Structure 1
Amino acid sequence: MEVLASAATWSNLLSFALTAFLIELTPGPNMTYLALVAARDGRRAGFATVAGVALGLSVVGLVASVGVAELVQSSRLLYEGLRWAGVLFLLYLAWEGWAGEPGASAGDGRSNGHHFTRGLVTNLLNPKAAVFYVAVLPTFVEASRPALPQTVSLTVIYVLVATLIHAAIVGLAATLQPFLNDPRRERIARRLLSALLACVAIWFGWSTAM
């Protein structure tokens, strides 16, 4: 019986990991912003942003495990405030990327801490992450076992899967940096990614409306 229970648990964890993988492959704010940062400022800046994103997802997951995220989802005022703060922050990031000077890089006043903070804030203001933890993650919690340890384990798996995908995006986008050493090409690529980020922000606002 214990072997069967263990097999069922591993099957459940693998199913959740696959679900998280497919969700993270869906284009969204993190994917677009990470590509913009890595292509503009390089791998180090991109990985600093990935670390901030990972912490943000972890914090939201821990908050959800104690029921705060469910409270946000049930309160239209709190949810809308968080949602619009997230949309406006993404639009600000898009505007910043669009208006930046050609050749601007992490060495021009943007420390790794700056990029880390941006990644963190972007995800703390992401109500969609909270909804995932409230609506999707609980469906993988087995009723026969204590809920809190399972929730924490699933949160860790989700953050790990997301971080691996985000790191891969940074690695791929950073390969464009040598090509973008030319100011004209850099400006075109940066503005294309910034415009895409603005579109993602608008889509994010529409798709998260209650």
Structure 2
Amino acid sequence: MPPPNFRLSLTAREATSSRKRMAIGKAIRRRVCSARGLGTNLLNPKVGVFYVAMLPQFLPDGVPPLLMGCALAVVHNIEGMLWFTALITVAELARTWLSRDSVRRAMDAVTGVVLVGFGVKLASSHR
């Protein structure tokens, strides 16, 4: 017969290995999602058309076009990251505000009034 703490220690080991597997799975998912996003962006013809159409007009004379083009692309990417960071922050604040019960009740009331108004207009319209 196994000692009484045997099952407890086995359960703790299983939980630890399960947590490790979940952490590894999340890291792999992040890498896969990042690679998929990068591939989608690089294979998107609109991105190439944007850079071919927009960047040459901002290249000053006398500089290596490849180096300056890469520098402008980095600036564009940093601006995009800042924009999406701001957008995510505002969306999180909006989600927090919109999930309050008072706001939800108000939105339900306004939606109800609008739908009833549409129904009254439809019922009173003549064909």
Normalising to structure 1: TM-score of the pair? 0.30
Identify the structure with the greater helix proportion.
2
Q: Which has the larger radius of gyration?
A: 2
Normalising to structure 2: TM-score of the pair? 0.46
Relative CO higher for 1 or 2, CA cutoff 8 Å, sep ≥ 6? 1
